[in-house]
Amino acid sequence: MGWWLALVAAYLGFAATFYPAFDVDIRYSPYIAVAALAGIDALIGGLRAAQEGKFKSHVFVSGFLVNTLLAAFLVYLGEHLGQRLDTAAVVLLGGRIFVNLSIIRREWMDRLDAAAEKRHAQSRAS
Amino acid sequence: MGLFVTSASASGQRSEVNRSWWVSLFVLCAILGALLGISFKAQNQIRQKQLPSANYEGLADRYTILKQHSDDSDRTIAALQQQVSRLERAVPNNNGRMAVISQDLQHANFLAGMTEVTGPGIIVTLNDSKKRFPNAPLGVQDAGIIHDSDINGVINELKAAGAEALSINKQRVVGLTAARCAGPTVYVNNIPQTPPYVIQAIGDADTLSTALKLPEGVYDTISQMDPSMIKIDTSPKLLIPTYAGPTQPRFAKPVLAPVSGGG
């Protein structure tokens, strides 16, 4: 149920902004894009933490909010310092997303292996 | 997300805490979706609006179309001007007074550069130098290139020496003709030109070429950089084309002198 709820929520948010006919001020698109990336990172970080049994909902919520805002602020700051700090954010967040995803994938593979072994053991027993 | 549930229940949280957790997850995912939606939309917008910096093909297309339009307009202008002169020639046969007026008109057209002109004169060819000027001072990094100032200098000198008709690369020089640089090209009568710039001038060939070759004059200035940049030839018979640009003034109106008596 959790999966579907999250997916539905994400789709609702997406639909509410993507389909209506209004013009986005393109000046803000770099901020929003990096904020979105930070959001994805927080979500996948939460997934990983849950998998490791270390998940704390307040850490997740605060991490999501603070990271998105911080990422957008970093881009803003970079623009004013004349440095491409958004690259730093993109590299870091993107890298972390990959790392977390690969950890999650390994964990799932382990579980699949374990399940297969279990089935094997059962069929042997019967 | 199913994992969240297992871990949440595994860590023994109460269902009430659980519910508020679901609400916040829902809200956060909605925010994330909204952020993604806005980002997608912004990128779509950038693609659709074809911002110039991102879309050279579009610009090139538009340039071709505009160029075509302008060529069409040029042809229209030429055709209309031919028609005007045909009409002018057709009228006078009927009566003597019209013949005088028509002659005046022909003369005015000639003075204004609205007719082809032929006569002796000189041909000045200006071309960019093939030499490099690595030692040129910083201010003149574009040494060895013909600029609008060079062209205007030659034209001005020729006018002062009594040239009666002038053209730059087949563009007639009339009262309102401007030769000016815009980026790498020189525009004459708002038509882009490329080197070599061939300037034809009808007048006394000796006077004209002497005027250009005055000490410290235009010829000296240009040939000091590279003698191959300027070349002066004389010709016994030049043909200078008619002015082909627009002739309808938009702002200026003639102030007519009051007609006195006999007219």
Among chain B residues, CA nearest to A16: B34
- Looking at the complex, report in whole angstroms how far the Cα of residue A14 sits from the nearest Cα belonging to chain B: 4
CB contact under 8 A, B32 and A36: yes
Contact map slice: B 21-50 vs A, CB within 8 A: 21-22, 24-43, 45-46
CB contact under 8 A, A18 and B41: yes
- What's residue B97's pLDDT? 74
Name the strand (E) or helix (H) holding B115: none
Which residue of A32, A44, A56 is the best one to mutate when testing the B interface, meaning the one whose CB has the most B CBs within 10 A?
A: A32
Picking from B33, B35, B40, the nearest residue to A11 by CB comes out as B33
Which residue of A12, A17, A23, A54 is the best one to mutate when testing the B interface, meaning the one whose CB has the most B CBs within 10 A?
A: A17
CB contact under 8 A, B3 and A5: no
- What's residue B223's pLDDT? 84
Cα–Cα distance for residue pair A32/B34, rounded to 1 Å: 10
Query: Within 10 Å of residue B78's Cβ, how many Cβ atoms?
Result: 12
β-strand pairing of B191-193 with B117-126 = unpaired
- Looking at the complex, report in whole angstroms how far the Cα of residue A121 sits from the nearest Cα belonging to chain B: 25
Phi, psi (deg, nearest 5) at residue B114: -95, 10
With contacts defined as CB-CB under 8 Å, which chain A residues touch B31?
A: 13, 39, 64, 68
CB contact under 8 A, A9 and B22: no
- Residue spans of beta strands (DSSP E) within chain A: none
CB contact under 8 A, B38 and A55: no
Cα–Cα distance for residue pair A35/B32, rounded to 1 Å: 9
CB contact under 8 A, B35 and A64: no
Which whole number is the average pLDDT over A21-28?
80
Task: Tell me the CA end-to-end span of chain B in Å, nearest whole number.
Answer: 101
Among chain B residues, CA nearest to A18: B37
Contact map slice: B 139-198 vs A, CB within 8 A: none
Among chain A residues, CA nearest to B17: A57
pLDDT in tens, chain B (263 residues): 444 444 444 444 455 556 777 788 888 889 899 999 988 888 887 777 655 555 677 677 778 888 888 888 888 888 888 888 888 777 656 677 777 877 888 888 888 888 889 999 999 999 888 777 666 665 555 677 888 888 999 999 999 988 999 999 889 998 888 888 877 778 888 888 888 899 999 999 999 988 888 888 888 888 888 888 888 999 999 999 988 877 777 788 888 877 665 44
With contacts defined as CB-CB under 8 Å, which chain B residues touch A28?
A: 42
Query: Within 10 Å of residue B167's Cβ, how many Cβ atoms?
Result: 27
A18 falls in which pLDDT band (50, 70, 90)? confident
Query: Which tokens in the block code for residue A53?
Result: 């049994």
With contacts defined as CB-CB under 8 Å, which chain B residues touch A6?
A: 1, 25-26, 29
- Looking at the complex, report in whole angstroms how far the Cα of residue B32 sits from the nearest Cα belonging to chain A: 6
Per-residue b or e along B120-147, where b marks 16 or more CB atoms closer than 10 Å to that residue's CB:
ebbbbbbbbbeeeeeeeeeeeeebbbbe
Using one digit for the tens of pLDDT, what is the confidence trace for A27-72? 888 888 899 999 999 989 988 888 888 888 888 889 899 999 999 9
Query: Which tokens in the block code for residue B232?
Result: 């002066």
Picking from B5, B7, B28, the nearest residue to A64 by CB comes out as B28
β-strand pairing of B185-188 with B191-193 = antiparallel
A87 or A3: which carries more pLDDT confidence?
A87
With contacts defined as CB-CB under 8 Å, which chain B residues touch A48?
A: none
Q: Is-contact B238 B185, C-beta < 8 A? A: no
Q: What is the pTM of this model?
A: 0.47
* Alpha helices (runs of H) in chain B, residue ranges in sequence order: 2-10, 15-49, 56-90, 96-112, 148-160, 205-212, 218-225
